[in-house]
Structure 1
Amino acid sequence: MESANKNNGDVNVVDHMNQHWESMRQFLHSQTTGGWQKCWEEDRTPWDLGHVTPVIQHLVQTDALPKGRILIPGCGRGYDVIAMASSQRNVVGLDLSEAAITKAKKLAASSANANSTTFIVDDFFTWQPNEPFELIFYYTFFCAIDPKTRPAWASRMAELLKPDGELLILMFPISDHVCGPPYKVSVSDYEEVLAPFGFKAISITENEHAIEFRKGYEKLGRWKRTSN
């Protein structure tokens, strides 16, 4: 596993996460059901950047994303859904939280590409779309689910992507912390669960566009589904 390093000013990203996420963790662990929904209802959402993910903005501006149908599970307020949507890209934002999707729909209503966005309240692990996708983008979703469910996550990727479809992942937090969510991740964590379903990494790079305190703890991975 990749070791955690220090960011600018010797501020450790794990300490930063713990400071900003601990109250949310306590809140989640205190709920018997509907914890994520209540986080959105009460604005306990430290994972929400409040704007488009910078690397997504960069990929859109440089025309480095495939055309067609795109899925963003755990889309939250939908910033990235709206940013990716165009006349050539229909983007579906999926989230378990009705409160999050309500916020996303309100935000998208004023977008020039609103007709190319769809927001759905459903469970990623059971939702059945009408057709598969050319691209799926993940950010703070894999790190939010129980690590024991990661093989099931990979299985869903194979079901939801078209043959030769692409999985675009911002891997965060790459660290050695023990608490969660967010649970620690590593490149090998992804490869271990994706490889059995025919996924092959085509590039894994440092995310040069990461927000300041996440720099050095985040990689951008692109996988192709090479077999059924």
Structure 2
Amino acid sequence: MEKLDSNYWNDRYINQQTIWDLGEISSPIKTYIDQLKNKDLSILIPGAGNAYEALYLLDKGFSNVTGIDFAVLPLQNLKLKLKDIEKAHYHLINDDFFNHRGTYDLILEQTFFCAINPKLRLDYVNHCHQLLNNNGKIAGLLFNKNFGSEGPPFGGNEIEYRELFKNKFEIKIMEVAYNSITPRQGSELFVIFCSDNPRVIL
């Protein structure tokens, strides 16, 4: 099938088949967030899942955070965790990322790209480009390893990614993450892709 449907992902959470879930925000993304100065950035987290990134952002005072996920269960759990957070500061959307419309300064990538069918990767690039402001960025992690044809997760490498993103984004950073957790050492690329005509340095 072209897309794994919402029932597939919801069942993975129900049955606790979430091997991608670290139980906390990943170190490279945490380090990236820690250097962001503008707390008013509009930030999208596709395939948010348990959204440790959203929890961390909101805890750090960011005021415009959106998480979207096909599966409703993790979003319901996340809403409970956010009960003491001002509702105006976050949005939780249960939908297909490719249906989503909006405008963002930053898209945080953490295990969503590797979860979609590789046939949809060009659609991902184009849709991210549509969602981002002219000064917008994709920042986060892509797997730098091959998982085989059966997935998710689906892997890849730097050569593939450069070819995929080069027509829509300026590739500012693509390098092996120096601070991945031990099981993922050497297998993650930290990336920053900038959309056309950047006006603001994040």
Scaled by the length of structure 2, the TM-score of the pair is 0.85
Indicate the residue corresponding to 1:128 in structure 2.
Answer: 101
Q: Percent identity?
A: 26
Deviation at 1:33, TM superposition (A): 6.9
Q: Does the CA contact (< 8 Å) of 1:59 and 1:65 recur in 2? A: no
1:208 equivalent in alignment to 2:178: yes
Indicate the residue corresponding to 1:47 in structure 2.
Answer: 20
Match of 2:80 among 102, 106, 120: 106
Deviation at 1:177, TM superposition (A): 3.4
Write the deviation string for residues 192-218 of structure 1: whole angstroms up to 9, x where unpaired: 222222x01111222122111100001
Indicate the residue corresponding to 2:65 in structure 1.
Answer: 91
What is the SS of the residue equivalent to 1:72?
strand
Indicate the residue corresponding to 1:222 in structure 2.
Answer: 192
CA distance in 1, matches of 2:50, 2:192: 24
Deviation at 1:186, TM superposition (A): 1.4
Structure 2 unaligned residues grouped into runs of 5+: none
CA distance in 2, matches of 1:33, 1:95: 9
CA distance in 2, matches of 1:60, 1:220: 13
Deviation at 1:64, TM superposition (A): 6.2
Count residues in correspondence.
Answer: 193
What is the SS of the residue equivalent to 2:75?
helix
Indicate the residue corresponding to 2:161 in structure 1.
Answer: 190
Which stretch has the larger CA shift, 61-70 or 140-149? 61-70
CA distance in 1, matches of 2:46, 2:94: 10
Structure 1 moving runs of 4+ over 6 Å:
none
Please list, as runs of the form range in 1=range in 2, the aligned pairs for 1:117-156 lying within 5 A after superposition: 117-129=90-102, 132-156=103-127
Deviation at 1:35, TM superposition (A): 0.7
Query: Using a 3 Å threshold, how does the CA distance of structure 1 residues 65 and 201 change in structure 2: closer, same or farther?
Result: farther
Query: Using a 3 Å threshold, how does the CA distance of structure 1 residues 52 and 94 change in structure 2: closer, same or farther?
Result: same
Larger radius of gyration: 1
* RMSD, aligned CA: 2.3
1:68 equivalent in alignment to 2:41: yes
Q: Does the CA contact (< 8 Å) of 1:73 and 1:93 recur in 2? A: yes
Deviation at 1:189, TM superposition (A): 2.5
Structure 1 unaligned residues grouped into runs of 5+: 1-30
Query: Using a 3 Å threshold, how does the CA distance of structure 1 residues 145 and 167 change in structure 2: closer, same or farther?
Result: same
Q: Does the CA contact (< 8 Å) of 2:70 and 2:97 recur in 1? A: yes
Question: What residue identity is the alignment partner of 1:41?
Answer: I
Question: What residue identity is the alignment partner of 2:162?
Answer: E
Deviation at 1:63, TM superposition (A): 3.5
Please list, as runs of the form range in 1=range in 2, the aligned pairs for 1:151-170 lying within 5 A after superposition: 151-170=122-141
Query: Using a 3 Å threshold, how does the CA distance of structure 1 residues 61 and 164 change in structure 2: closer, same or farther?
Result: closer
Scaled by the length of structure 1, the TM-score of the pair is 0.76
Indicate the residue corresponding to 1:180 in structure 2.
Answer: 151
CA distance in 1, matches of 2:197, 2:33: 27
Query: Using a 3 Å threshold, how does the CA distance of structure 1 residues 80 and 116 change in structure 2: closer, same or farther?
Result: same
